[in-house]
Amino acid sequence: MIDAPLVSGIGPLLIVELLTLGLGAGFLAGLLGIGGGMLLVPFLTLIIAARGVPPALAVKMAIATSMATILFTSLSSLRAHHRHGAVRWPLVRGLAPGIVLGGLMSGAGVFALLKGQGLAVVFAVFVGFSALQMLRDRKPAPHRQMPGWAGQMGAGGTIGLVSGLVGAGGAFMSVPFMLWCNVPLRHAVGTSAALGFPIALSATAGYVIGGWSLPPALPGAVGYLYLPALFTIAAASVLMAPLGARTAHRIDVQSLRRLFALLLMALAATMLWRVFA
């Protein structure tokens, strides 16, 4: 997967791989509000492991690096969705405090304690469950609304904790949750794009704290973060996120829902295959 003569550095093939990942992640971040993390983790795991990093550590580095890229992607996606009036800021304010606490807990504590294979299984199970829920397209009770402050705090904490463990922007949980509470799909996607930033910020801070004493696994790695991948992917994804957001407001809602669900199922299957293979 990488050019052998430059395996200790940053070869041109690696740059092409990372740029391609960044473009795809940025487009999906804008289209589905997912932050791009669920696309990045499986492929970054392959790329990092191919450079000689043990698989268990490669998974953790992929998760941490993926989450850090969402700091950049989410802002670009957020601006595009905000221009379309799709971000419900009261929901952002209600969910964000719990998300920050959950993200810090996952990045600074729980993440370091779990095995890399265990994280991959957690990732696949939650993503697959979210996909099935969306494909079933069960209509929520008409009277159901978003919970009050305590309920949003608890929901945000769960979203932040799980997102920090799997390196995703949280939309694989927050979008189905908001749909269950009768938030329209486009508003759920736009609001999830806004929530991606506090998720990424808190979890990345936790990864830095948790991995501070680790020796660099690769040139350019700092703890769990692989900086060459972070900056290359971030640069490409920021360019594509606005295009994805514009597309989200032009296509049919049911098509958007099915696309979201099918993407989640494919990514869950990819991670499970990697674990058991």
How does pLDDT run along the chain (277 residues), one tens digit per residue? Answer: 333 333 345 677 788 888 888 888 778 767 765 656 667 877 888 888 888 888 778 888 888 888 888 888 777 777 877 887 888 899 989 998 988 888 777 766 565 556 556 666 776 777 777 677 667 766 666 677 888 888 889 988 888 887 777 666 677 778 888 888 888 888 888 888 888 888 888 878 877 877 777 777 778 888 888 888 888 888 888 788 778 777 777 777 677 667 777 877 877 777 677 667 6
Among candidates 192, 190, 146, 150, which has minimal Cα distance to 168? 192
pLDDT at 4: 37
Tell me the C-alpha distance between 3 and 5, whole Å.
Answer: 6
Burial class (CB in 10 A: 0-12, 13-18, 19+), 151: middle
Residues 6+ positions from 178 with CB-CB distance below 8 Å: 91, 146, 187, 188, 191, 192
Kindly report whether the global pTM for this prediction surpasses the value 0.75: no
- The answer to whether the beta carbons of residues 190 and 86 sit under 8 Å apart is yes
How far, rounded to the nearest angstrom, does the alpha carbon of residue 225 sit from its chain's CA centroid?
A: 15
